[in-house]
Structure 1
Amino acid sequence: MTALQKPTPQEEAVVTRAVVRTAEKLDFRQSDLGRLLGLSGASVSRMVHGQYELNIHRPEWDVALALIRVYRSLSSILGGQEDLIRRWMHSPNTDLGGVPSDILRRGAGGLFQVGIYLDSMRGRI
């Protein structure tokens, strides 16, 4: 999408629902998701209940897409097995220098660190 294209309402609704589901699958609490996206707890609560949609023109949009990409990369590496995904998220990773879920909770920098790592691992498959 170019900067001149206007998103359809469906795009914002789809990405909002996808990031909520992604956070649930990665064992993120609403407060974790809010911190990562830069949203208040009330906004995240409204988002979970379908009363708030992410805005494509705000930084929250890019962070949400990056989180979804992290999940999709991890899911493709682990064959979509939810138990393995959760175990990987909560296990120490020497390559990353910590537990992935903790690294993701550090903010956008941690999110992009994990995303780059997963992209490189996916390239080896």
Structure 2
Amino acid sequence: EEACGRIDILFNNAGVIRRKTVVELEEQDWDLVINVSLKGAYNLSKFVIPIMAKSGGGSIINTGSGWGIKGGDKAAAYCAAKAGVVNLTRAMAIDHGPENIRVNCVSPGDTDTPLLREEA
């Protein structure tokens, strides 16, 4: 806001994965995955939305995951975090649509990224 005077677009696109079941998962790994994907989207949105509203609106795009809709094996924290992002998007759209802020979520399937390659 200081540099450009306004913020028109926020793209919450962070994510990490720990390939473990709930039983195998350590709490610190759970916290990391939730904090990066879900809490990160919350924190950025919390501080950007007032700036967007003051400027007349904007667009927020959150990256969920197909696994946030359907689930997947050995990815309990990732599935939970991305499902949270999907529903956080819905709630934010309802709350901030009247401020002319569009909030949408894209939920891609497996995509060839370094994150996916690390699992191979």
TM > 0.5 between the two? Answer: no
State the TM-score bracket (shorter-chain normalisation): under 0.3
- TM-score, normalised to structure 2, is 0.27
User: Whose RCO is larger (CA < 8 A, sep 6+)?
Assistant: 2
Q: Normalized per residue, which structure has more strand?
A: 2
- TM-score, normalised to structure 1, is 0.26
Q: Normalized per residue, which structure has more helix?
A: 1
Q: Which has the larger radius of gyration?
A: 2
